[in-house]
Amino acid sequence: MNRVILFNKPYGVLSQFTDKGTEGSARPTLSAYIDQPGFYPAGRLDKDSEGLMVLTDNGALQARIAHPKYKRPKTYLVQVEGTPDPAALEALRKGVDLKDGPTKPAEVSQVDPPTNLWERDPPVRFRKTVPDAWLRITIREGRNRQVRRMTAHVGLPTLRLIRESIGDWHLNDLRPGAWRWASETGA
């Protein structure tokens, strides 16, 4: 049986166990939260993003979770700056042309601000003169900072990005920095 860990990565944490950055940078990594040997992240989440990461001790399963050819859906709650109009939402749904090529179509809906969300440290900047909105975006590929680049492309810069789910695995009530065991199938 392959072992799977679901982890709620806090803002500012690198999605790796060691920091290979500049010497003396001491950026927080997964090792500050997960002390299970032999586990590796199945995919990445940039340090400015929060939410669900799946880790496993099986390389084949890791590849099936992370590789885009398996088209495992990844769903994000995205706080954007500005007010989404129908044209911007439709562009995201159809796919947008980024510098590294067109994105595949995404599932996109505008949602009410989440009521059960934890505070972020540091907080998201707030400007009285610029409205913000929340979107739920599901993609089936995983380019570097893809969701952020997609929303910026349609004039809605991302302020906060939280991954809610990967395939059948969901964040649910897992708090930032906490992890739990899960089944291989995501049930």
Print pLDDT tens along the chain (187 aa): 678 999 999 999 999 998 876 666 678 999 999 999 999 999 889 999 999 999 999 888 888 888 777 778 999 999 999 999 999 999 999 999 999 999 999 999 999 999 989 999 888 887 777 899 999 999 998 888 999 999 999 999 999 999 999 999 999 999 999 999 998 776 4
Q: Are residues 146 and 104 in the same domain?
A: yes
Please say if 112 is a catalytic residue. Answer: no
- The confidence score (pLDDT) of residue 23 equals 64
Q: Are residues 159 and 175 in the same domain?
A: no
Q: Are residues 97 and 24 in the same domain?
A: no
Q: Are residues 116 and 158 in the same domain?
A: yes
> Is the pTM of the predicted complex or chain greater than 0.85?
yes
- The confidence score (pLDDT) of residue 123 equals 86
Residues spanned by the domain of 183: 1-70+168-187
Q: Are residues 82 and 126 in the same domain?
A: yes
CATH number at residue 66: 3.30.70.580
Specify whether the CB–CB gap between 138 and 107 falls below 8 A.
Answer: yes
From 46, 48, 57, 132, the catalytic residue: 46
Distance CA 114, CA 76 (A): 12
Calculated CA dihedral for residues 4, 41, 176, 121, nearest 10 degrees: 180
Per residue in 117-161, pLDDT tens?
999 988 888 777 789 999 999 999 888 899 999 999 999 999 999
Q: Are residues 159 and 173 in the same domain?
A: no
Burial class (CB in 10 A: 0-12, 13-18, 19+), 171: buried
Q: Are residues 151 and 80 in the same domain?
A: yes
Domains of the chain: total: 2
